[in-house]
């Protein structure tokens, strides 16, 4: 049976239903978008809603259904990017994360190339360099990842633990990665708010997927992760 969050009382189906309703409502409004800017913002909302539904399904143990919603989210994020303001690096990041959570490595690689072709490595912002680091990790270009991870991990305007995890993944340093990903998880456990109100550590899941490809995934347990005793 799918994990419905019995221990914590989390009703994952209620989250799915809410996000699907948000998606349908946003989709119905899309033809009414007055201009390109309104359309790209609406597409981003659709991406967020679909990602939220996918994450809730993933937490419930319904991986195939989750993959369909996450793939749809990646498509909406990419569709929104052409008319997005400069520096909207959250779109390719969201797309890559959604593909990784869906287990779609080919799709993640395509979105990684998209981020790099959009000049994420040349970005001045930490979020742009994060997009570059994530893209290079997806593509297995770990030597390039380290350049961008090192550029953001010491900044005051970026979570140091995430930057550390990226750097240690690129270095295949299991000890360093373990400490870093545990700190990322702890940061999620201290939160009061989550993306689309889904209580899940999505960044940890993405890091673990990348770690598994390198043979250094670690055992973690939290109500914010699927398949944990209290999830």
Spatial distance between the Cα atoms of 85 and 100, rounded to a whole number of angstroms: 25
Q: Is 75 helix (H, G, I), strand (E, B) or coil?
A: helix
198-224 residue pLDDT tens: 999 999 999 999 999 999 999 999 999
pLDDT of 8 reads: 55
| Model pLDDT, residue 231 | 44
> Is 154 inside a domain boundary?
yes
pTM of the model: 0.93
Residue with tokens 């991986």: 63
Q: Evaluate whether residue 136 is within a structural domain.
A: yes
Task: Report residue 86 as tokens.
Answer: 């400069």
Exposure class string for 79-97: b at 16+ Cβ within 10 A, else e: bbbeebeeebbbbbbbbbb
Say if 28 falls within a structural domain.
yes
pLDDT tens digits, 68-118: 999 999 999 999 999 999 999 999 999 999 999 999 999 999 999 999 999
Domain of 190, CATH number, reads: 1.25.40
Identify the pLDDT of residue 119: 97
**Element (H or E) spanning 34, and its range?**
none
Note down the domain range covering 185.
12-213
Which pLDDT tens digit goes with each residue over 167-200? Answer: 999 999 999 999 999 999 999 999 999 989 999 9
Overall number of domains in the chain = 1
Please indicate, yes or no, if residue 231 is contained in any of the structural domains.
no
CA-nearest of 156, 155, 80, 175 to 165 is: 175
Check whether 6 has a pLDDT greater than 60.
Answer: no
- Is residue 228 assigned to a domain? no
Q: In whole angstroms, give the CA distance from residue 24 to residue 137.
A: 34
Is 2 part of any domain?
no
């Amino acid at each position: 049976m799918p994990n419905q969050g019995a221990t914590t009382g989390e009703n994952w189906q209620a989250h799915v239903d809410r996000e699907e309703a948000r998606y349908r409502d946003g989709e119905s409004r899309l033809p009414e978008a007055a201009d390109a800017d309104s359309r790209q913002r609406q597409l981003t909302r659709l991406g967020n809603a679909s990602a939220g539904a996918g994450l809730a399904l993933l937490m419930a143990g319904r991986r195939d259904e989750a993959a369909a919603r996450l793939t749809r989210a990646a498509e909406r994020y990419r569709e929104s990017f052409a008319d997005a303001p400069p520096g909207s690096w959250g779109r390719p990041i969201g797309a890559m994360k959604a593909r990784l959570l869906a287990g779609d490595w080919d799709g993640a690689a395509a979105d990684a190339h998209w981020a790099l072709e959009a000049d994420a490595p040349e970005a001045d912002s930490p979020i742009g360099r994060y997009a570059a680091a994530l893209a290079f990790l997806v593509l297995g270009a770990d030597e390039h990842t380290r350049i961008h991870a090192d550029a953001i991990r010491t900044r005051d305007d970026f979570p140091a633990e995430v930057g550390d995890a990226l750097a240690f993944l690129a270095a295949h340093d299991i000890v360093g990665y373990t400490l870093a990903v545990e700190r990322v998880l702890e940061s999620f456990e201290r939160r009061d708010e989550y993306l689309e109100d889904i209580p899940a550590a999505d960044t940890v899941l993405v890091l673990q997927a990348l770690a598994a490809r390198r043979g250094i995934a670690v055992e973690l347990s939290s109500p914010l992760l699927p398949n944990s005793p209290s999830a």
